[in-house]
Amino acid sequence: MKAVGIVLSNIHDKDIPELTGIRSIGSVPFGGRYRLIDFALSNMVNSGITTVGIITKSNYQSLMDHVGSGKEWDLVRKNGGLFILPPFSDNQDNLYETRLQALYGIINFLEHRKEEVAVLADTNMVCNIDLSAVIDNHFAKNADISCVYKEMTLTGDEGHKVSAIKTDTKGKVVDIATAKPLKDVKIKSVINIWVINRVLLINLIRDALSRDSNADFDLDLVGKNLKSLNVAGYEFDGYFAWITSLAKYYQHNMELLNKEVRDNLFNQKHKAIFTKVKDSAPTSYRDGAKVKNSFIADGCVIDGIVENSVIFRGVSVGRGCVVRNCILMQDSVVMDNANLNCVIADKNVVVKSGRNLSGCATLPFFIGKNVIV
C-alpha cells in the first residue's frame, strides 16, 4: 500500500465552542446521521487507504465511541487498519497546540509505517474527494509534497486564518501566505489536505520544530522549503464546506436540502460516506405529519409539520408541532404543539409542549446537549 492516512480530529476545536465543549470537532454531528470525521475517513477508505491514524487530544470519548473498531469503514485489518493516536507529551501539562506539535506526537507511528506517503486531513470540513487521484498526481509529478487547494471567494467570516498559495503554469506551488480572511477576496485556499512523502515528513517535522517549537506547518514546514522541494498544487473542484462557526455549521447543514450538494457529497458512485450503524427502525410518519423539503434520518417518529430541516436519528416530533429551518440532533424530542424556527438542538434535547423558540439563519438558537426546555 502506498499511503497511510493521518486524521487530525481535534485541531479546530476552538472554532465552535457550542458544539465542541463536550466533544472533538471530528465527532460533531452533521447531516442527519454523520459525524464530521466520517468524511475524512470515508474519503481515505474510498481511495484505497487501509491504514488510518486518528490524532486525538481531548474530549475524544465520543469520537472513540463513534469510530469504534473501525468496522464501518472496513478498517479492521490484520495489516494496518485503524489506529487511535492519543496525545503524547514528555511533559504532562503540555499538550500539543499546533499542527506541527500534533504531528510530532505521532512521529513514532510515522516511523514504524512502511507506506511511501502520508495523507493528512482535518475534520472540520465536509467534502467527497477522490484522494487516489491526488496520490496518483503526486507520483506522476514526482512531488515531495502535494497541496490540495480550492479556489474560493472568501466571505470574511471563515473564523480562522486562511493560507493562500500561488502556483506556476505547471501547477507547482511557488508561494504560500497566511492571513485573516478578507471578504470578497478570491484565493487558492489551502484546505489542509496534504500528501507528503512519509520519510520526508518526519525529517521536516523535526527540522521545523528544532528551529522553533511553535513553527507553523504552512509557513515553516512548507513555505520555507518551496525552493528546495517539489511542492505540487492539486485543485479540488467539488463541493467543499468549512465548518468554522455555528452560523457556518447551520448554513452547510441547510445546503444539504439542495439536490446538487447531496449528489456531490453522498451519491457519487463507489464513493459512499460511511458512518456508525445504529440499527434504528425506519422513520415513521403518522397521521399528523406534514413534511416538506427536509433531510430525515432513520428511527424518527414524525407527527407534526417539518419544513426545511435536517433531522437526525431517533428524533420525535409530536402532533401539532411546527419545526421549520431547524437542525434537531439524535434522540431529541419535540413534544406536542411546540413551535421551533431556526433552532439547533444538540443530542437528547427535550422541548416541552407549547414552547415557542426562534432564532434566525445568521444566529440560530442553540440548545445544548441533554437540555430540557
For other proteins, the closer CB: 46 or 197 = 46
Alpha-carbon gap, residue 354 to 24, rounded angstroms: 34
Residue closer to other proteins, measured from CB, 223 or 299: 299
Considering only 274, 321, 326, 366, the residue that binds other proteins (CB under 8 A) is 274
Give whichever of 249 and 274 is closer to other proteins, judged by the CB atom. Answer: 274
Cell numbers for 39, please give them: 468524511
Cα-based distances in Å from 96 to 58, 91, 132: 10, 10, 30
Q: At which residue does the C-alpha cell 486524521 appear? A: 7
Shortest spacing between CB 89 and other proteins, in angstroms: 36
Q: Considering only residues 213, 267, 353, 356, which one is a binding residue for other proteins as defined by CB under 8 A?
A: 267
Query: Rule CB under 8 A: is residue 109 a binding residue for other proteins?
Result: no
Buried b (16+ CB within 10 A) or exposed e, 172-185: ebeebeeeebeeee
> According to the binding rule CB under 8 A, does residue 320 interact with other proteins?
no
CA 109: distance to chain centroid?
Answer: 23
When the beta carbons of 164 and 305 are compared against other proteins, the nearer one is 305
Name the packing angle between helices 37-46 and 131-140 (round to 10°): 50
Amino acid making up residue 329: M
Q: What is the DSSP string of 10-44?
A: STTGGG-HHHHSSS-GGG-EETTTEETHHHHHHHH
- Considering the rule CB under 8 A, would residue 275 count as an interface residue with other proteins? yes
Binding status of residue 261 toward other proteins by CB under 8 A: no
Q: Residues 24 to 53: which contact other proteins by CB under 8 A?
A: 31-33
Residues 206-235 close enough to bind other proteins by CB under 8 A: none
> Binding to other proteins by residue 341, rule CB under 8 A?
no
β-sheet bridge partners, residue 245: none
Least Å distance between CB 310 and other proteins? 8
| 326 vs 318: CA distance, rounded Å | 15
Q: Measured in whole angstroms, how far is the alpha carbon of residue 33 from the centre of its chain?
A: 14
Sign of CA dihedral 148, 154, 158, 161: positive
Question: Contact 33/313 with Cβ under 8 angstroms?
Answer: yes
Shorter beta-carbon distance to other proteins: residue 213 or 267: 267
Q: Is 14 in the site for other proteins (CB under 8 A)?
A: no
Of 237 and 279, CB closest to other proteins:
279
- First-to-last alpha carbon distance for the chain, in angstroms, is 52
Q: Which three cell numbers stand for residue 315?
A: 428524533
Binding mask 48-87 for other proteins (x = CB under 8 A): -----------------------x----------------
Least Cβ distance, residue 116 to other proteins (angstroms):
29
Among positions 182, 277, 361, 372, the unique one binding other proteins when judged by CB under 8 A: 277
**In the range 241-260, which residues lie near other proteins by CB under 8 A?**
257, 259
Binding flag, residue 295, other proteins (CB under 8 A): yes
| Alpha carbons 359 and 342: distance in angstroms, whole number | 5
Q: Strands 333-334 and 350-351: what pairing?
A: parallel
Nearest distance from C-beta of residue 30 to other proteins, angstroms: 11
Q: Could you count the other beta carbons within 10 Å of the beta carbon of residue 101? A: 19
- Least distance (Å) from other proteins to the CB of residue 181? 31
Q: Does residue 133 belong to the site contacting other proteins (CB under 8 A)? A: no
Which CB, 80 or 299, lies closer to other proteins? 299
Determine which residue in the list 1, 174, 177, 272 makes contact with other proteins, applying CB under 8 A: 272
CA 178, CA 359: separation in Å to the nearest integer? 34
Min dist CB 253 to other proteins, Å, is 11
Residue 283 is a binding residue for other proteins (CB under 8 A): yes
Residues that bind other proteins (CB under 8 A): 31-33, 71, 257, 259, 262, 266-267, 272-275, 277, 279, 281-287, 289-299, 301, 303, 306, 310-311
